[in-house]
Structure 1
């Protein structure tokens, strides 16, 4: 059997096969996919524009929203242009370097998004549990530093993935049954020992998700305890409203991610196209709905966005 590796002199290519079993429906599948992608670009782009233009929104909460918007634009853009080329034009080839690069950025941005959600939970905790010190604890500069720490963490944790992929030999059959270079799908193409790759990918998934969800859970536990101590019904409602948007975003992100990971790891009886559709929705849906959630649930942002969208 022919074998090649990443250090070979030739330029072997991987073939991204799209959604196996649904090739005849690729054009139809591309319609909601492209709609979701364009909506996410417009929504996040609008959020970034409004926050940049309005000085009253130059606050820690909105700086975090801008970081989240940039992360989500980057993540969906890592996947969708290539996926749409597969659906529309049948351009399935991707170089090894391109595949490794795509894998790196997808997982790096995923971990970065998780870190931002943790930071946003901490932001809401300080705003409700220690409001008098909010302006001194969470300054724009401190938020920027926390964002940088999250980025460094994501890069350092994901960097071993492409390095481990490069050491693997790959068989002559290098067709990847996916729309993008998902790490485990690439690993399955190898003829060599992939135990380290699989273990490291599993550790990153569950350790990062577990730690970040634990911190978010602790933050909301303390928020709920503080809110329950508030006697004024109006103040009680106001405190809860400040957390609604962030909580909705976490529910969307956490439920899709957890369900996708569990079905991919343990749902061997689930059809392959279901796995792939879920993986794509996990990348597409949060960037699309998050600007909508914050635009609807955050009055200050909603009013400023209305200022630009409702002009006649």
Structure 2
């Protein structure tokens, strides 16, 4: 054995193998996790809002977390289904779709997701029938709030792009800003983005609620992380909501904490998933 170790060739091989293993382990420890967040707000707002969460995950997991978003919903869902993200915070209908493509559903937010309509504070719109002849701003045709809101108006007898005009914007915030600037008569959104827009913009609008309730945004992990790492992420998320920063995050966003995704949640989302698939085609 000692003769083998004294052999220069064998020694170089042992050193090379040791360095390769060490570098591989170090690289694995340092590899950042890519967190993809659905673009329901501007990139800056998304990063700022989720900073307490990403900092907590970095501490708990011992890995850098990079927040990624997409220019639009269509790009986001395609990236999600392609496996571009290690972790994701996405719409419930997108989450249900991704769970069939290698992603593990971890949690959804406890609050109900309810589409609401935003109009200017001085608007004459007070009920559904008054949307006739008006322009409705959407964050995206693929957002579940847009699908739910337009479907609700259709149930009230109003047909999109026949009885009212639909215009898409880059985010919920942009759609609400269009209402405040009189570029649109109303916007469909949810309560969460309203909490994340500037206060002066929020003061220029008022809300009309709908009667639609659905599961809220879901958090997922890609299966390639492996069961032990996914369980570590699950525990880190649960511990986050018990920290002062987590309590503030869930209070300010209105998400109200994490709950498990149930089979009933997936069943409620089935019609929205079907509509989304049709629209993507």
Query: Is the TM-score greater than 0.5?
Result: no
Q: Which has the larger radius of gyration?
A: 2
Of the two structures, which has the highest relative contact order with CA contacts closer than 8 Å and spacing of 6 or more?
A: 1
What TM-score do the two structures reach when normalised by structure 1? 0.25
- The structure carrying a bigger strand percent of its residues is 2
What TM-score do the two structures reach when normalised by structure 2? 0.27
- The structure carrying a bigger helix percent of its residues is 1
